[in-house]
Amino acid sequence: MAVRVPPRWVVRTAWAIHRGIYRVSGGRVGLSKPKPAKYGTLRLTTTGRRSGQPRSVLLAYYEDGPDLVLMSMNGWGEGHPAWWLNLRAQPDAIAEVDGVRREVRGRRTDSDERARLWERWHVYDKRLDEWAALRDTEAVVIVLEPRPA
């Protein structure tokens, strides 16, 4: 059976509910560390590329040593998500994971590293390539590295 993305309003509603639960719980619910077969959820705060204001989003991730690995899939919709455009313009950001704030620097992966990290995403989603094929926009694999002190 082919993968099918729900209507955009369903995706946006799910995001709004997740953010609401996070907000109402004071951050106690909504973030999680990755498990062997389940990706984690972090809160990434970037600087708006136009506004200069902090912008936060909840994202799936997994750990690769000290680094956090993300994908810019935009809810399986076309184009790049605003958080990635913000991070590309200003790479320094804050990642919150399991109650701990980390100062990070984001960067796009290159061909060999991207292929290795993309393959690791298959642990969490066996149909990743099918989902990605629904988009004309290539998913960017992003690494959040600890920021030097």
**pLDDT (0 to 100) of residue 9:** 81
Residue 30 has pLDDT above 90, yes or no: no
**pLDDT band, residue 4 (cuts 50/70/90):** confident
Average pLDDT of every residue of the chain: 89
pLDDT, tens digit (0-9, with 9 covering 90-100), for 49-92: 999 999 999 999 999 999 999 999 877 778 899 999 999 999 99
Average pLDDT over residues 19-38: 82
**pLDDT band, residue 147 (cuts 50/70/90):** very high
Only one residue has tokens 């719980």, namely 25
At 54, list the tokens. Answer: 């902090």
**pLDDT band, residue 122 (cuts 50/70/90):** very high
User: DSSP labels for the chain?
Assistant: ----PPPHHHHHHHHHHHHHHHHHTTTSSS-B--BTTB-EEEEEEEE-TTT-SEEEEEEEEEEETTEEEEEE-GGG-SS--HHHHHHHHS-EEEEEETTEEEEEEEEE--HHHHHHHHHHHTTT-TTHHHHHHT-SSPPEEEEEEEPP-
**pLDDT (0 to 100) of residue 120:** 94
Residue 95 has pLDDT above 90, yes or no: yes
Give me the residues paired with residue 44 across strands.
Answer: 57, 95
